[in-house]
Amino acid sequence: MDDLRRDYLEQIRRDGVDLSPELAAAFAGVPREAFVPGGFQRRDGAWADPGDPDFLRLVYRDDVLVTKLDNRIPVSSSSQPSLMAIMIRALRVRPGMRVLEIGAGTGYNAALLASLGAAVTSVEVQADVADRARAALASAHIEGVRVEPADGYAGFPSGRFDRVIVTVGIAGVSPLWLDQLERGGLIVAPVEHAGTHPVLSIRPADGRARPGSLADLEAGGPLTASVICPAGFMTAAGPLTAAHASAFPPPAAAGTLAGLTGFAPRRFDPALDSYGYRDLWYAAGVWSRRATHAAVPGREQSCLVLIDEARTGGAVILPDGSVLATGAEADRYGAEAVATVDRWTAAGRPPMQAWRVGFGLTGDARAPIWAPDSWELPT
């Protein structure tokens, strides 16, 4: 077991994740297997059970563990540990801080936070998932975590918190979290952008949690954010993912974009690596509200697409900068895709972390959200 956990830490560090001694101790000390007592889905779709000979080896790898499906769609999981580490580092937790977690999942993330000395309140919309997380925390002898079955949009109305961390993909920030956030607090959350969920570090612009009435918020634009890293998350339910005027189109499923043909040749030799491609993808989402991702024939990974209004055509930008197009407006979307590559290249290929994000109030008028609506590259 000691060898497994040492290798586990090395896997988490492999892509340059900086583990503090305290966070490394948390990952080494919290038994991840205690949080998946019912097993999880293997990469090949089969189910891994605790009695399987390779169960612990699979648990202690840097990979997401899907623990619940609904009609074969994943609806609960334990996130990839290296991504969890990045988000927890960005949260800047100190002993004694009160943390509101939106999305309990297996309870493993809350256990790591508690091991760093935080007092955690975790809100989970799925009651059965909340029950299992609570039982797992007890089984692992983790103290300092409270799990509440409730809609994450409301947060925990009777609480006050120094930090908020969100472990599901959201379209925007609930104003109710700001009510519960102490002065100087911050929110770390994966916020939808062009079909993905880059993780943002979000702060009230003037250091206050909430500058007064909702009317003040509407006029003041109280939040600013920076991008921490690319990511993809399961999507939250309810108001946190409500459609709004500037929402991106959903991803295009396999077979949606038939008849793709070459529109523009490759631009990058060698092709962009995964991080560079995500940087281009993020910029495309800043400049086009039609950006999302699509399954493309012959490609194992989804690709960046500017999809047309009919969702039957558009233009795909590949990692080498080449463009494929199809549909009734292929020329229009192909030209826009080429212009996107040109613009990103002319800007010096900015990484997604270079962007500064502003927010506007949108969504359901009865349950509004603060969603990203402006971006700038500081000079």
Nearest to 139 by CA among 163, 162, 172, 106: 106
pLDDT of the residue at 253 = 85
pLDDT at 145 over 50: yes
Domains recognised in the chain with CATH numbers = 2-241 (3.40.50.150), 261-346 (3.30.310)
The whole-model pTM stands at: 0.94
pLDDT at 219 over 50: no
C-alpha distances (whole Å) from 282 to each of 3, 152, 199, 299, 352 are 38, 26, 12, 20, 6
**Averaged over 230-250, what is the pLDDT?**
89
- Find all residues with CB under 8 Å of 258, minimum gap 6, and list them: 312, 326
pLDDT of the residue at 206 = 65
Residue 331 C-beta-side C-alpha neighbours within 13 Å: 0
pLDDT at 185 over 50: yes
Return the minimum-mean-pLDDT range out of 63-72, 99-108, 163-172, 206-215.
206-215
Q: What pLDDT band is residue 220 in, cutting at 50, 70 and 90?
A: very low
For the annotated catalytic residues, the residue numbers are 79
Distance CA 71, CA 43 (A): 17
pLDDT of the residue at 221 = 56
pLDDT of the residue at 305 = 98
**Averaged over 53-73, what is the pLDDT?**
95
pLDDT at 207 over 70: no
Nearest to 214 by CA among 72, 317, 366, 111: 366
pLDDT at 211 over 50: no
pLDDT of the residue at 237 = 83
Residue 216 C-beta-side C-alpha neighbours within 13 Å: 8
Return the minimum-mean-pLDDT range out of 54-68, 96-110, 155-169, 200-214.
200-214
CA angle (167, 205, 229) in 5-degree steps: 35
Two structure tokens written together for 190: 């994966």
Question: Tell me: the pLDDT tens digits for 321-366?
Answer: 999 999 999 999 999 999 999 999 999 999 999 999 999 999 988 9
Q: What is the mean pLDDT of the chain?
A: 93
Return the minimum-mean-pLDDT range out of 13-17, 216-220, 225-229, 312-316.
216-220
pLDDT of the residue at 63 = 96
pLDDT at 379 over 90: no
